[in-house]
Amino acid sequence: MALPPRKAKLPPQGSSNYRGAYSVVEVSKSISAKPNSSSTKARQASSPNNQTTTPSSSKTSKATHSSAPKSPANGNPAVWPDSLKAYVGRCFASVGPSQRGAMEKNLKKVITSAIESNNLWTIDWDTRELPLEGIKAVDDGEDKLEKLKKDTKKRTDEKSHAGTGTGTMRTITSPSSVAYKSPSITFSKSDQQYSTTNEQAISSSSKATKRSAKWDQRSEEPASIEDSAKRKTISIFADTSYLSSSAEQQRKEKRLRRFDSPTGNESTPTPIGTPDYVGTTFVQDTEPEKFVGRSIKLEKKYLRLTSAPDPETVRPLHILRHTLDLLKQKWKSERNYAYICDQFKSMRQDLTVQLIQNEFTVNVYEIHARIALENGDLGEYNQCQTQLRSLYAMNIAGHPNEFLAYRILYLLHTRNRSDMNDLLIELTDEQKADDVIAHALKVREAVTDQDFHSLMRLYLSAPNMGGYIIDSFIDRERHAALEIICKAFRPNVPLRFLTDEIGFESDKACYDFLEKYTLNQFIDESTLRLRTKEAYPTAQNNRATAFKKIDIKGQI
């Protein structure tokens, strides 16, 4: 069970692998292929900004409008000098993963201004200083541009990445890094002003991919799924004007097909003369690297994921450690199960999406399982138990014997004979020798033998949280015991005896139980003895009812 959920929660992960294999090759291809495709690219590239009549740009803000016409003024800037590409590469190579967002910003400024000033092809990128000073390092930036940048960013990021130099740059420098890397640039929010459908397409397709946190580790490779996703978006919202040629249609279809099979991008060589934008063929990042969240909030409400997780809301391991401490403390002081369960679920989710499987994970599941047991929440317990089984199978340290014992008891609760059989077959001698497991096995035997005398003693002496699981089926067994007692003992039995034999700690508790199930009417108030013969039919009924109930795996 451990592996499937991972897949389930990160659906694109698997499919990304094969695509990734091609991306490195494609990077070089895209760079070398530049001269061929330049003119067509330019056509496509410049158009989004020219097309103030397209539905999308008509919706954009005034600021965007004012900046948009500027880019095409560069002529055909969509194609970059090779030296610029190399420059960008150097820039990113020069910074650590944590700096990439800042670098991205800087570069964008540098390049935007180069385009604005029509210097894209004149600047000697080979000798140009790297913009290492962060925002201060931007030397070419004009004030006006600085101001505009904020407005245009959304546009350039989202929409005209294929048109303006910024867009093209992002092909190389990984647009997704903008999306995920630097919290300051978040187009998933800003692009709302675009159009709802496009926004949907963008956010869902970008969320649906895994690249996200990979950017912490990677350097050169472009992330193109987002590119292509965005490009798809472009073709959706701008199809009236510049993407309407049949060649364009074919290209779009081809592009769609490319996602169908691993060989897709090989079978779709960039045709000369079609506006196949450099990025289109590299579909995916390389190796599926670890997803690492960036949230630093300790608490988080559990929300079932319906799309790929957003690293902004996922807490990394070191934060989760603090979370666990906090939750333990809160549980001790507040004992609010609804809250604690919710918090643990979100923690488990964060662990799952980040594929964290270590002793901490085991610890979280164990604690949650215990708390769930303590609160009679067998459904939640069972989820933890399932995960724990596979974690223990990976030889991660924890308390496997304790939880194996719980599992035996749980199988008694659900009366799952075949699983119990399987479990017994796998038991080793060492496991059988373990006190806690031995106890659970004795409970099993007592239950199958209907040996209520032993069962009740085992119940009252159950180690750890075992008693809580037995709680869930003890009433059933009490009814069975009462039926047997009423059948076998004559003429009566003292209440004291019943208290012992059906496992209550006081006569009062026992009497309450009998009262609840209308057996108290057969008790002589003076002698406090149960007239067994008269009580037998009622006891029979009670038992039948108790065993008829359909188990729903202990959900509450």
Interface contacts to another protein, rule CB under 8 A: 417-418, 420-422, 424-425, 427, 445, 448-454, 483-485, 487-494, 497, 500-501
In the complex with another protein, the residue whose CB is nearer, 417 or 516, is: 417
Q: Which is nearer to another protein, 230 or 478 (CB)?
A: 478
DSSP assignment letter at 76: S
**Cβ 397 to another protein shortest distance, Å:** 19
312-320, long-range: CB < 8 A, 24+ apart: 312/180, 312/183, 314/350, 314/353, 314/354, 315/347, 315/350, 316/292, 316/354, 317/354, 317/356, 317/360, 319/293, 319/295, 320/347, 320/350, 320/351, 320/356, 320/360, 320/364
When the beta carbons of 102 and 391 are compared against another protein, the nearer one is: 391
| SS3 assignment, position 56 | helix
**Closest C-alpha to 448, from 480, 486, 483:** 480
Tell me how far, at minimum, the Cβ of 484 lies from another protein, in Å.
Answer: 4
Least spacing, CB of residue 277 vs another protein, in Å: 38
SS (H, E, C) 133-171: CHHHHCCCCCHHHHHHHHHHHHHHHHCHHHCCHHHHHHH
Amino acid code (one letter) for 43: R
Is the Cβ of residue 190 or residue 390 nearer to another protein in the bound state? 390
* Number of C-beta neighbours around residue 211 at 10 A: 30
Give the integer Cα–Cα distance in Å for 531 and 538: 12
Nearer to another protein, 157 or 477 (CB): 477
Which C-beta is closer to another protein: that of 391 or that of 456?
456
Please state the length of the chain: 556
Given the structure tokens 């308390």, which residue do they identify? 399
Q: Which is nearer to another protein, 283 or 486 (CB)?
A: 486
Task: Tell me the closest approach of the beta carbon of residue 486 to another protein, in angstroms.
Answer: 9
Integer Cα distance of 481 and 504 in angstroms: 13
**206 close to 167: Cβ distance less than 8 angstroms:** no
Tokens at 206, concatenated: 């970008």
User: What's the min distance (Å) between Cβ of 436 and another protein?
Assistant: 20
Minimum CB distance to another protein smaller for 122 or for 421: 421
Least distance CB 25 / another protein (angstroms): 25
Give the C-alpha distances (Å, rounded to integers) separating 248 from 26, 112, 138, 277: 21, 28, 38, 11
Mark 432-452 as b/e (b = at least 16 C-beta within 10 Å).
eebebbebbbbbbebbeeebb
Picking from 555, 271, 200, the residue whose alpha carbon sits closest to that of residue 413 is 555
* Angle between helix 435-449 and helix 400-414 axes, rounded to 10 deg: 10
Give the shortest CB-411-to-another protein separation in angstroms: 12
Quick check: 542 and 483 in contact, CB under 8 A? yes
Residues 6+ apart with CB under 8 A from 133: 106
**Residue 215 beta carbon to another protein: minimum distance, rounded to whole angstroms:** 29
Nearer to another protein, 247 or 396 (CB): 396
| Least distance from another protein to the Cβ atom of residue 447, Å | 12
Q: Would you say 114 and 70 are in contact if contact means Cβ atoms under 8 Å apart?
A: no
Give the nearer residue to another protein in terms of CB position, either 422 or 435. Answer: 422
Nearer to another protein, 126 or 287 (CB): 287
The least CB distance from residue 539 to another protein, in Å, is 11
Find tokens 């496991």 and name the residue.
Answer: 431
